[in-house]
Structure 1
Amino acid sequence: MYISDPSETKRPARQRDAERTRAAILTAALNLFSTRGFAQTGVREVAELAGVNSALVGRYFGSKLGLYRATLEVIDITPALQGDRRSFGKFMVGVFFDSPGAPGPLQMMILSVADPDAHAATVEFLQKKVITPLARWLGPPDGEGRAARLNILWTGFLISWKLLPIQSLTGARLAATRRWLEAQTQAIVDEGTS
């Protein structure tokens, strides 16, 4: 007969707690980095918002910069590249509109550019997680340039809608802008395919 070691039964529970704690820290960090930026966010504030001891931030992420890098991991365009290419514009713009109140990585990246380390991490991640996979998916002609133009288009829209809101981007104008953004996104995707 096998008698289990009590420490074996506790490990899975601890693992689940560790995953939950890590997720709570990441959620709190994304919230604070997205509203205050990197420089104005402290590890203690993140820990307090997450409801954990600040030592756990260091344990899971090493440093505030490590935590920032981990929050950037939420940026992943690859799921959007799995769908129908002909409806990419509509799908991608839908992503922006479907979570209008949630703190997002764009706000976090823009608010954090004043810090040299956060800026470098942001540029590296944007290239690695958005531009490069998007360019590969777009393919010739000039996938890299088209990916850059899409990033410019989306970033400009999101800044004008979220960070430096243009008052006229509401109601019917916002709906018309959404259709325009979908069409412009799709036009860039379709360049050179005719």
Structure 2
Amino acid sequence: MSAEHAVPERPRAGRARDAAASKQALLRAAQELFGQKGFERTTIREIGERAGVDAALIARYFGNKAELYVAAVVAEDAAARMPADFRGLAQITHTLVTRSDERGPGPILQALIRSDTSPEIRVAAGDRIARRVVEPLAADLADRDLDRARLRAEIAVCALYGISLGRSLGWFEEIRSVPKDELVALVTEALSALATPAADEEPGGVPGDG
């Protein structure tokens, strides 16, 4: 067959598989390094080396480091999503404390607490926590006809992330050293008032509303 009648070469399936594997490797490496070192201290080169691929592929697949960070947060969100039936305060407390013990402050939490986080990344991180944690808890509280369910949920989540952060960073000896199950029970007990109507509160009403 002459060159002018040659059939154009079709993209090989192997190339698509290799590209998908490289992209996934970069995501995993980014999740690990951002979780360990934070956004600013992690370099593009380190991510490429950890992934075992050319760091230049980050620009091709993600655009830049900030966009890779957001993609890594989204990927972590999908891989570590709260169970579909997640609702209660005890479950969220157990989940957050367990993850803190196993992984330390992850990239989502670091994005919220670091002063040098870009506004785009901070907004993305806040949105993830709202969807994964606050909204399911608020739905549970609303189902109990509690007043201001969203505010109660946000207070509980702020307290839980603060406790988890203090435990992982060793701020206080007792919180750092107490067994996980005991800490979960104590925190759940302490926050239970947020999931319980006040004595003078009618279901769905405002405290003290006569």
Distance, in Å, in 2 between the alignment partners of 1:123 and 1:109 is 9
Change (3 A) 1:89 1:120: closer
Residue 96, structure 1, aligned to residue 110, structure 2: no
Matched, 1:27 2:28: yes
Given that 1:106 and 1:155 are in contact with CA atoms closer than 8 Å, whether structure 2 keeps it comes out as no
Query: Please, which moves more after superposition, 151-160 or 172-181?
Result: 172-181
Q: Does 1:166 align with 2:167?
A: no
Contact 1:61 1:67 in 2 (8 A): yes
Unpaired stretches in structure 1, ≥5 consecutive residues: none
Contact kept, 8 Å, 1:26 with 1:70, in 2: the verdict is yes
Matches within 5 A, 1:137-148: 137-139=140-142, 141-148=147-154
Higher-Rg structure is 2
Moved more, 173-182 or 143-152: 173-182
C-alpha spacing 1:48/1:146, structure 2 compared with 1 (3 Å): same
Between 1 and 2, higher relative CO (CA 8 Å, sep ≥ 6) is seen in: 1
Partner of 2:116: 114
1:1-150 equivalences in 2 (<5 Å)? 7=10, 10-11=12-13, 13-73=14-74, 74-75=76-77, 79-80=82-83, 82-83=85-86, 85=87, 88-99=88-99, 100-102=101-103, 104-110=106-112, 112-117=114-119, 118-132=121-135, 134-139=137-142, 141-150=147-156
Deviates more, 1:62-71 or 1:112-121: 112-121
How many residue pairs end up in the alignment? 185
State the shift of 1:20 in Å: 2.6
Q: What is the deviation of 1:53? A: 0.7
Q: Which amino acid aligns with 2:158?
A: I
- TM (norm. structure 1) is 0.74
In the TM superposition, what is the alpha-carbon distance from 1:176 to its structure 2 partner?
Answer: 2.3
- Displacement of 1:66: 0.6
For the structure 1 residues 51 and 189, does the alpha-carbon distance in structure 2 shift closer, same or farther, using more than 3 Å as the test? farther
Provide the rounded CA distance (Å) in 2 between the counterparts of 1:51 and 1:34. Answer: 18
Displacement of 1:44 in angstroms is 1.3
Conserved in 2, the CA contact under 8 Å of 1:109 and 1:122?
yes
2:115, 2:153 → 1: CA distance? 21
Identity %: 23
Unaligned runs of 5+ in 2: 1-7, 205-210
Contact 2:39–2:117, Cα closer than 8 Å, also in 1: yes
- For 2:110, give the aligned amino acid: M
Alpha-carbon distance in 1 for matches of 2:197, 2:190: 11
**Alignment deviations for residues 39-61 of structure 1 (CA, whole Å, 9 cap, x no partner):** 11111111111111111111121
- Per the TM alignment, residue 78 of structure 1 is displaced from its structure 2 partner at its CA by 6.3
- Whether the 8 Å contact between 1:150 and 1:188 is mirrored in structure 2 is yes
Give the superposed CA RMSD: 3.3
SS at match of 1:147: helix
CA distance in 2: counterparts of 1:177 and 1:57, whole angstroms = 41
Contact 1:39–1:112 (8 Å) recurs in 2: no
Deviation at 1:93, TM superposition (A): 2.6
Q: Normalising by structure 2, what TM-score?
A: 0.69
